[in-house]
Amino acid sequence: MRVVAVAGRDDLARVYIAETNDGRCIEFVESLQPPWPREKKWVLIVSCLSGCPFACRICDAGGNYRGRLSREEIEFQIDYLVEQRFPGRGIPCEKFKIQFARMGEPALNPEVLEAIASLPGRLRAPGLILSLSTIAPERCDGFFDRLLEVKEGFKAGTFQFQFSLHTSDEARRRELIPARTWSFGRMAAYGRRFLRPGDRKVTLNFALAEGYPLEAEKLSAWFDPDVFLVKITPINPTASARESGLRPVFTRNGGGEKIVDRLRRAGYEVIVSFGEFEENAIGSNCGQFVRSYASGKGRFRPEESYLYPLEKVPGG
């Protein structure tokens, strides 16, 4: 594999495009959480597939699916970022988080689990935290069973697991996620299996759009607040979201306060999370960078797109 382009800022986020040996494109990310320095918290977000077979309405990673990545191709993304910052692979960050949540649904690729299992032997990272996000596709039971085994190789509290729901209405969810997925009942049962003493609660993620309800009563019918927490994130300005006409419920100017209040009164821990605004200009939302790169738009116009060929990275 080789890295062919990069966008972003060293003090916020950088998005990288790599080409595999057979010409497929993937993207991966490193980011900070201002005002914390890298030594306090450093996050890597890696791809599991080239493209994705699911064309979710909020995500630019869907479409142009070109298959699973090998374990070596997943490890390349991590190694490339680590060795740039910490040659020798000793990572002194208080929190060093690797998210398997970039391009592609991870449950479609068993090699993701082998890459995760190899990490303790390949990195010296006492602050390592792993995070895996899934829509819970059908016919991936083997992946999820194996995930429970792999998780046993990590300390309690260092493996975060997330279901991407986006609405409490199962029928409406299919409009946003056009795939056959587990029912809420099966997700709830798996979450109870996943959680062990000392773990962080399983996350239910909602990038909440107008017209797609998040109702505390319906959610609590399936998901126990002692096992699950709710995380609400904005709808990022991806091309897919714009083309779908999705409008956010939560913005930086407010909105959704009643929803949060009802969830908390139902017993849920609720996190409302907004990234840095400039990450939208960088294109560090799922699939944005590869889509821009593949189309050629802005490739040599960094003042408009933050998109640079690798040899022209400012400060790189």
The Cα–Cα gap between 124 and 90 comes to: 5
The Cα–Cα gap between 186 and 170 comes to: 12
What digits encode the pLDDT tens for the residues 211-240?
Answer: 899 999 999 999 999 999 999 987 765 556
Which range, of 1-10, 61-70, 259-268, 297-306, averages the lowest pLDDT?
297-306
Q: Which of 84, 98, 85 is nearest to 39 (CA)?
A: 85
Q: For the residues 24-38, what does the mean pLDDT come to?
A: 92
pLDDT beyond 90 at 159: yes
Please spell the DSSP secondary structure of the chain, one letter per residue: -EEEEEEEETTTEEEEEEE-TTS-EEEEEEE--TTS-TTTEEEEEE-SBSSBS---TT-SS-BS---BPPHHHHHHHHHHHHHHHSTTSB---SEEEEEE-SSS-GGG-THHHHHHHHHHHH-B-TTEEEEEEE--BTT-HHHHHHHHHHHTTS-TTSEEEEEE-S-S-HHHHHHHS-S-B--HHHHHHHHHHH--TTPPPEEEEEE-BTTS---HHHHHTTS-TTTEEEEEE-----HHHHHHT--BS-BTTB--HHHHHHHHHTT--EEE----THHHHHT-STTHHHHHHHHTTTTT-HHHH-EEEGGG-TT-
pLDDT beyond 90 at 287: no
* pLDDT band, residue 293 (cuts 50/70/90): low
pLDDT beyond 90 at 122: yes
Q: Is the peptide bond before 35 cis (omega within 30 degrees of 0)?
A: yes
Residue 268 tokens, joined: 């849920």
* pLDDT band, residue 277 (cuts 50/70/90): very low
The Cα–Cα gap between 62 and 216 comes to: 30
Q: For the residues 36-56, what does the mean pLDDT come to?
A: 89
Q: For the residues 158-178, what does the mean pLDDT come to?
A: 94
Q: For the residues 17-44, what does the mean pLDDT come to?
A: 93
Residue 103 tokens, joined: 């391009």
Q: For the residues 7-12, what does the mean pLDDT come to?
A: 87
| CATH (domain of 73) | 3.20.20.70
Residue predicted with more confidence, 11 or 57: 11
Q: For the residues 247-253, what does the mean pLDDT come to?
A: 71
Which range, of 67-81, 104-118, 301-315, averages the lowest pLDDT?
301-315
What digits encode the pLDDT tens for the residues 106-119?
Answer: 999 999 999 999 99
Q: How many domains would you assign to the chain?
A: 1
Most confident of 47-51, 264-268, 284-288: 264-268
The Cα–Cα gap between 99 and 43 comes to: 7
User: Domain range spanning residue 300?
Assistant: 2-312
Residue predicted with more confidence, 275 or 38: 38
Residue predicted with more confidence, 245 or 25: 25
Amino acid at 29: V
Percent of the chain residues topping a pLDDT of 90: 63
pLDDT beyond 80 at 120: yes
Q: For the residues 125-149, what does the mean pLDDT come to?
A: 97
Q: What are phi and psi of 59, to 5 degrees?
A: -125, 135
- For residue 221, the model assigns a pLDDT of 97
